[in-house]
Amino acid sequence: MRLFRSFFAAIALATISLSGAAMADDKQVVQTLYDFLSNPASEEHAAAFEAAASEDWASLGDYSGKTKSRDAFVKQVGGFAKLIPDLNWSVEEMLQDGNQIAVRSRATGTPSGPFFGVDGKGKSFDILAIDIHTVENGQIARTFHVEDWAGALRQLSSQ
């Protein structure tokens, strides 16, 4: 009986260790997105994100049902390099439950010109973002996201 309990205890510990390692790896996979957002001109960061996101990755940011593909997202982020050269997207908290990873992050930057029709005249923004990522087979398969762009525009247009 003791041998039986020891055997199952060993299996349970091994499973916990393996799942902990998988969770750490999933979080690192998700981190590549934020590294890319903070380095939008970097081909190395773009390539790392492309490797971390599945070929059919879908970005959903509203209730329209429309999604953005991985390639369209990479192109959009590349445009941030000129528009917001000092963009920084820092992860403040990352929580995981199974293959779902929720991220609370902060985006800061100073647009170099008009941003969403607002000329911030050298002003900066500091906003909150919440994302929920689904990781499947070691890659980000889907991302739901909400950013406070209205708050950014208020900050850029304030006196």
The model's pLDDT over 67-114, given as tens digits with 9 standing for 90+, comes to 999 999 999 999 989 999 999 999 999 999 999 999 999 999 999 988
Banded model confidence at residue 120, pLDDT cuts 50, 70, 90: confident
pLDDT at 21: 44
Q: How far apart are CA 133 and CA 53, in angstroms?
A: 10
Banded model confidence at residue 24, pLDDT cuts 50, 70, 90: low
Query: Under CATH, what is the fold of the domain 2-157?
Result: Nuclear Transport Factor 2; Chain: A, (3.10.450)
136 versus 21: the higher-pLDDT residue is 136
Spatial neighbors of 49 by CB under 8 A, at least 6 apart, are 32, 33, 35, 36, 74
Q: How far apart are CA 132 and CA 130, in angstroms?
A: 7
What is the chain's mean pLDDT, rounded?
A: 87
**Cβ of 152: how many Cβ atoms within 10 Å?**
24
Provide the CB-side half-sphere exposure for 36 (13 A, CA).
Answer: 25
